[in-house]
Structure formats: structure tokens, C-alpha cells
Amino acid sequence: MLTDIMAIVRETGKLIRNADISKAAIRQKTSKRDLCTACDIEVQTQLFDRLAKLLPEAQFIGEEQAIRPAVTNGWTFIIDPIDGTANFAHDYRYSCISVALVKDGSPVIGVVYNPYLDELFYAEKGCGAYLNGLPIHVSGLPLSDALVAFGTSPYDLEYKRDTFALAEKVFEKSQDIRRTGSAALDLCHVACGRLDGFFELILRPWDYAAGSVILTEAGGVITTMENTELSLVKDSSVCAATPSAHAELLEIYRHYNEG
Ligand code: IPD
Ligand code: CA
Ligand code: CA
């Protein structure tokens, strides 16, 4: 199953890599920051079609789908056709496809593909995490030596004050901070030790479902900012890091909330 999903995702990535963004139709959804391009739709349609042939009994949750079916018993694919759509629309070339396979409410497979670098991150629960065939692990660095990415929750502006206040606090305690524009890639980059931590105050399940399997299998820790389990049913904050940096990030957040 994992091998077949990987092949489908890699093949579909060509739509992103070969897209001529100067000619692509771009639509605003909830705001000028929240975009959907013709390529988002094309990628989602191709993934739905091909993955449905692979696992006909599965249901689908995709970002560009009008309805958001509940994750119930049985198999569900949770898909972000392009994570990093604003990057894609600017031809910034830092975006990915994110596909998670969930069984009875728990993610069991995660596949994240960066078509620009031909980097395929993947993991199956209990079997370790990999990048293009090689095992990956989190760095193990503490926060003082960590490079930490954060997301700006650009579609939910009520989080912006807390986001940037926390970013300043994390900057003070870490080596440096980054804002890349793709949460799914950030999680994979923590998984392979290019980054050591990541946080964002609100994300959707398709942003983190696949990355959470990859990160956990690589020895990282991922929870909400309140240190509870991530939900695949509702939107959630995300704190993901090496075990020691994770504890320190949660502590900064707790301290910040206590004022
Ligand atoms: C977004 C990206 C971004 C994050 C946003 C996400 P999209 O996903 O992951 O880095 O800050 O919160 O919504 O809209 O490009 O699929
Ligand atoms: Ca996304
Ligand atoms: Ca998206």
C-alpha cells in the first residue's frame, strides 16, 4: 500500500513541478492570503481518482473539497494537494503534496513530496521514517541550539499577536527562527534534522496528518500547544520538535499564557 501511494504521489507531483504559474488561474478563498490555483484542484482530482482505485473503500478529505466528511471507522485519506499554495502562486518553489492514510481515526501512513527537489518523505506507523529510501531521525538538539520554524496562521488573523509574541520568545531561547510557508514540509524537516522545532497556533488536519506520522516515526514529538493529542476532526495548534525542544517550547507557551 505504502509503495503504491508513494508512486501515485510522486507521479502527481509533476503537475506542480511543470506548472506554468504565469498562466495559472488563481482564486482567493477567505482572504487575499488564502488562495486556490487551478493546479491545487488538478492535483487533488488526480490524487482522489488514483487513490480511490487503490483503496475503493476509503473516504476522502481534501482541502479543496467543499465538504469535510468526518473521519469515521475504516479508511480515510486526508490530503493537502498543495501545502504552500502562496509559495506556489509566487513561484517560490517551496511546496509539497501531503497525503495521510487514516485507519479507524488514527493516521497509519504519511507521505509528503517536495516535487522541486524530488524529495519523498514517508512513514508507516511502527516502521520508521524515510527520505528517498534512507532512514531519517530528529536531531535531538535542545532548544538553545535549535533552528525553529513557525507558521503565521495566515487565514486566522486573531492569532497574529500571540504568534509573533511567541516567535520573539522562541527566537530569544533558540539559535534562530524560520518562516517557510509550508507546515507539512516544516514537520518533515524537523523529522530529518534540518530543523529542530516547529509551532503554529492554528492548522487544519490536512496540514499535519501526514507529517505527524513521519515526525513521530523519526523520534520527534508532536502535540497541540496545550500538550494534548492532535485531532483529525477539528483544527488544532501544533507543536512539533525533538523531545527536549518540544518540552521547552511548551514551557514557553505556558509561561506566555500565564502573562
Ligand atoms: C498553509 C501552509 C502555511 C501555514 C498555513 C497553512 P496551504 O497551507 O502550511 O505554512 O502557515 O497555516 O494553511 O494553505 O498553503 O495549503
Ligand atoms: Ca496546507
Ligand atoms: Ca493547500
Q: Above 80 in pLDDT, residue 22? A: no
pLDDT of residue 71: 79
Q: Is 58 helix (H, G, I), strand (E, B) or coil?
A: coil
Instruction: For residue 94, report the distance from its CA to the centre of ligand 3, in Å.
Output: 12
Q: Above 80 in pLDDT, residue 151? A: yes
Task: Identify the CA nearest to 173 among candidates 139, 142, 198.
Answer: 142
* Fold (topology level) of 2-135: Fructose-1,6-Bisphosphatase; Chain A, domain 1 (3.30.540)
Least-confidence region, from 71-75, 119-123, 161-165, 233-237: 71-75
Quick one: which atom of ligand 1 is closest to the CA of 181? Answer: 10
Buried b or exposed e, range 166-186, using 16+ CB within 10 angstroms: bbeebeebbeebeebbbbbbb
Quick one: which atom of ligand 1 is closest to the CA of 95? Answer: 15
How much is the mean pLDDT over the chain?
95
Can you read off the three cell numbers belonging to residue 68? 469535510
pLDDT of residue 49: 96
pLDDT, mean of residues 103-131? 97
* Integer Cα distance of 40 and 98 in angstroms: 12
* Integer Cα distance of 17 and 28 in angstroms: 22
Can you read off the three cell numbers belonging to residue 164? 509573533
Q: Above 90 in pLDDT, residue 26? A: no
Q: Above 90 in pLDDT, residue 95? A: yes
pLDDT, mean of residues 60-70? 84
pLDDT of residue 192: 98
Which of the four pLDDT bands, split at 50, 70 and 90, describes residue 20? confident
* Fold (topology level) of 143-258: D-Maltodextrin-Binding Protein; domain 2 (3.40.190)
Ligand 1 first shell, C-beta below 6 A: 63, 80, 83-86, 151-154, 181-183, 200, 203, 207
* Integer Cα distance of 204 and 222 in angstroms: 14
One fold for both 2-135 and 143-258?
no
8, 81 Cβ separation under 8 angstroms:
no
Q: pLDDT tens across 32-51, in order?
A: 887 788 899 999 999 999 99
Mutate to test the pocket of ligand 1, among 35, 63, 83, 179 (most ligand atoms within 8 A of CB): 83
Residue showing cell 509503495: 3
Task: Identify the CA nearest to 35 among candidates 45, 25, 44, 43.
Answer: 25
Q: pLDDT tens across 234-246, in order?
A: 999 999 999 999 9
Least-confidence region, from 35-39, 161-165, 226-230, 232-236: 35-39
